[in-house]
Amino acid sequence: MKITIKKARKKDFKKVLGLINELAKFEKLEPPGKKEAKRLFRDAFGEKAKFKILTAAEGKNILGYAFYFFTYSSFLAKPTLYLEDLFITERSRNLGIGKLFFKELLRIALKNKCGRMEWCVLDWNKDAIEFYNKLGAKPLSDWIYYRKVL
């Protein structure tokens, strides 16, 4: 099995959107509607892209994706690569795809002179937490994430 991690192309979007819907089901959330899908496409592939997408593919089959963007650390005075979503189809888990994604994300972070990478994980997603711990990532116990929906 030859799995490649690469930058998503416009023609990949329909398959990525299918995986987003699969993630929504996994997380028991409402998937994006048509308006949100249009915004996702524009914000990923438009002239002023707001985030980037990596895909994991075996041939023409997309097995997973990672959405990321850059924030900035005022204390490090360096960018931070923020991983918004990492999703691998259930049938493709435990094949090393997560490690391939993190290897590429680390390469991108270093290329962009980032001081760190950050992401969140749902507290009930024990498999993901175990995977992140095996990577040597450390949970931040002294920070509380807030959200204000607009």
Q: Which of 80, 104, 128 is nearest to 8 (CA)?
A: 104
Between CA 86 and CA 55 the distance in angstroms is 10
What contacts 81, CB < 8 A, 6 or more positions away? 68, 69, 70, 105, 108, 109, 112, 114, 116, 117, 118
Between CA 88 and CA 81 the distance in angstroms is 20
- Burial class from Cβ neighbours inside 10 Å (0-12, 13-18, 19+) for residue 79 reads middle
Given 82, 132, 145, 146, which residue is catalytic?
Answer: 132
Residue 132: active-site member: yes
Known catalytic residues? Answer: 132
